[in-house]
Amino acid sequence: MKHRPPVIRPARASDVAHLLDIEKRSFTSDRLSPKSLRRFLTQTKARCVVAVESKRVLAYALVLFPPGAAHARLYSFAVDPSGQGRGIGKRLLAAAEAEAREGGRALMRLEVRDDNETAIRLYQNAGYTSLGRIKGYYEDGAHAMRMEKTVAQPSRPKRRVPYYEQTLEFTCGPAALLMAMAAIKSDRDVSRREELTLWRESTLIFMTSGHGGCDPFGLALAAHKRGFGARVYVNIPDDLFLDSVRSPQKREVMRLVQRDFRDALAERKVEIHTRPIKLKELTDLVARGSVPIVLVSGYRFFRQKAPHWVVMTGCDASYVYIHDPYVRRRAGMTAANSMDIAVPRRDFERMTRYGKAKLQAALILSAPASRKRKR
């Protein structure tokens, strides 16, 4: 017998008995109490949606909204055994994500037993990725997998920015530049060979540790040599990234390289603005077709206090959307998790300050101005 899709609607106080029955049939421990369920159904920081068939509740999803956070939390999710295998969980999960989105949250997070293969598969197929394992999370001592998904829908920028994943730990700048150039000129070479060529041209040779990273001046010079319009914004007039380098010899080399970049930009009449660029300016530039490459603190992405370049792909009233060239593959993530990441505007403004000096830097890439014909 073919079933009609169940109706998805907000939970009501009269559903509590049905929800408790689903809890009893779905979980052997960590069940919600009647008091807790009633409290959640009346809280403004919680939303519960149910799947109903013939006046019977077959599944529910309880979403919480932690104060001041960018994420919502899928606190409890259950499908009655009699309703499993019919796609109800998939539809209900999408409804829960819509609740998170309507509540102004960019991300949905959840915990699931790491031995619940069916639930993990449901979440993975829906685009959730693992953030790690929590030992002894449940009452019976079972471990949990914490998962996350970006649920905010990115705004549509004037230009579509193709994605390119950096192939080395120190090539975020060249990878970001490749994306920006390809967004402006679709026939641009986007390859590892070009990524490494750009790195050789724009590297500072040394950095805080390991191989040298790229500064905004070197990236701007490489872009301008390839025929793109470029503008640099930095809030510090002195040489960049030197305060975190201990070796005097390395600092001197970095200083010389940066000054060489600056002199070359001056010869090419490339604008360097010694001030931070405001978010509203970035938003306006994106709307007009420019592509910003912005320096951020890597701590936001991979928990390392290192300078990191990302590409701004769009912006709306709530979020800034970025392509991050780094993919956390060891954490089970794919390139899709690094595309159009929704960052709350307030968080974006915080993460664009790097180091003790709170360095702010951005490179604005645009199409070259058309030359007027000589008469």
Three-state SS for 88-137 is HHHHHHHHHHHHHHHCCCCEEEEEEECCCHHHHHHHHHCCCEEEEEECCC
pLDDT given at position 331: 66
pLDDT given at position 113: 92
The rounded percent of the chain whose pLDDT value lies above 90 is: 57
pLDDT given at position 373: 40
Q: What domains, with CATH codes, occur in the chain?
A: 7-150 (3.40.630.30), 172-366 (3.90.70.10)
Instruction: Say if residue 301's pLDDT is above 70.
Output: no
Report yes or no: 60 and 76 within 8 Å, Cβ to Cβ.
yes
Distance of CA 364 to the CA centre of its chain: 20
Confidence band for 335, pLDDT divided at 50, 70 and 90: confident
Report yes or no: 233 and 217 within 8 Å, Cβ to Cβ.
no
Confidence band for 175, pLDDT divided at 50, 70 and 90: very high
Instruction: Say if residue 156's pLDDT is above 60.
Output: no
pLDDT digits (tens, 9 = 90+) for 74-88: 999 999 988 888 889
Closest CA to 279 of 355, 368, 343, 358: 343
Instruction: Check residues 193 and 242 and name the one with the higher pLDDT.
Output: 193
pLDDT digits (tens, 9 = 90+) for 16-55: 999 999 988 888 788 888 998 899 998 888 999 999 988 8
Instruction: Say if residue 155's pLDDT is above 70.
Output: no
- Fill in the DSSP letter of residue 340: S
Question: Residue range 270-292: average pLDDT?
Answer: 94
Confidence band for 336, pLDDT divided at 50, 70 and 90: confident
Report yes or no: 29 and 46 within 8 Å, Cβ to Cβ.
no
Local structure of 293: helix, strand or coil: strand
- Residue 299 C-beta-side C-alpha neighbours within 13 Å: 10
Percent helix, strand and coil across the chain, each to the nearest 5: 35, 25, 40
User: Token pair of 366, please?
Assistant: 């645009």
Task: Return mean pLDDT, the chain.
Answer: 88
By CB neighbour count within 10 A (0-12 exposed, 13-18 middle, 19+ buried), where does 257 fall?
A: buried
